[in-house]
Structure 1
Amino acid sequence: MHLNDINLELQEKDKNIVDMMSCINAFKRKWKLLKEEIKNKDCRNFPTLLLQQNSESFVSYVNEVTKILSEFERRFEDINKMENILSFLSYPFTCTNVHEISSSCSNYFNMECTALEDEMLKIILDINLKARAGNSHSYSYWSSISEIKYPFMKQIALQITAFFASTYLCESAFSHMKTIKSKYRTRLTNDQLTACLHLALTENIPNYENFAEDHQCHASTSALK
């Protein structure tokens, strides 16, 4: 049940890599807590275990939880290495380890470390930028940051924003394509299918009133007679 819950949470729409990392870290922290609860035979989160009084059963479940934690660490090893970078981009103004983060950025994005350190220090002490960001820990304000003033950090923020955090868009496209190109519509061309997919996947809502105003209504002359 707990694994199904985290799986559904990671599949939600419009999730970026920062959101994904937060979900995964929260799940791992929760799982460590559950592991300690099972060790102490506290089954508030595992009510079916209350029926088992065998100490060996609890030991086996602790081992299974340990395996799950190890598997999560292995699967998300690359994201864990980027955690300090993502935390800085979310809210850089409380950062105290500039050298460590600039080194990580330099390795991941192949940029000059000294220039990155200089930009990071300027960002941390940028009063106008801090006021614009407010107290919210979000990376959205990077879209309005000057590329001339912070070229390296702006590029890093754009690249991280462009990361595909999940396969949601791909799976959604295949689902719509399967519905659109059915056995009853086999004569659809590739261009027609592409246009239908764009309409199915876009979040933009057409302004039908403006479209209607651009076209003149032609009344039928036969109806007038």
Structure 2
Amino acid sequence: MEAQIKKFVYFTIALDESTDLSDTSQLAIIIRGVGYEFNVTADFLTMSSLHGTTTGKDVYESLLKELAEFSLPLEKMSGICTDGAPAMRQQNGHCVELNSEQYANIVSDLSAEFARRFFQFAETEKKIKIFFDPFSVNPSSLAAELQMELNDLQANKRLKQRHLNHELIEFYHHFFPAGTYQALHKHALRMVSLFSSTYLCEQFFSRMKQTKSTYRTGLTDEHLAQQLRISFSDIKPDLDRIVQEKQCQVAH
């Protein structure tokens, strides 16, 4: 996994939290990364055990710690995908009693948040359209750097034909001149790195329940994470390197 991570230009994290049979909150961290040539890796990164509280602050601090452990810089992170649970979105997870003034303020905040979210949807839709069909996007509403590149790209009939004749990732991988359209290339890499759902997290927790069953509740957090990495990950271990790093037992 470490070898794959070094090749990531951008990555996205999928987060979810569930409680195992020992009442320990386990935070699943799944990563999806893309290399310069649009080679995508989506796999288990790590599992973090949360002992005590499980507020948004706890999740945030645990995530930062794990990202640092794997030398994953925040500037390469395209986004975080969660199931929308409060602990994944808030700094503090607690209930309070409200008076009428507080209630009015919350309604006002919700209205502003509602408008903000719909603005984000519109912006996200625009970004997706640039990625999927850069030849039909109106460049005038975009940043200057993207405008210049899109105007030039849309005048290129040869590339437009290749876009029509090939699968999207194949087009970007084999035919898109990254050196000429650097901003569009970076934009496409960001889009490819995004998760569409937390399905892999749900799949992970299903595997966790099978592994830490009623007959194996004595599994430590470390051993549980190790077993889940072996059973869940699609990445083949580098056995030659592992053997080389081990000290051989010489017979006397």
TM-score normalised by length of structure 1: 0.43
Relative contact order, CA 8 A, sep 6+: which one is greater?
Answer: 2
Larger radius of gyration: 1
1 or 2, which has the higher strand percentage? Answer: 2
TM-score normalised by length of structure 2: 0.39
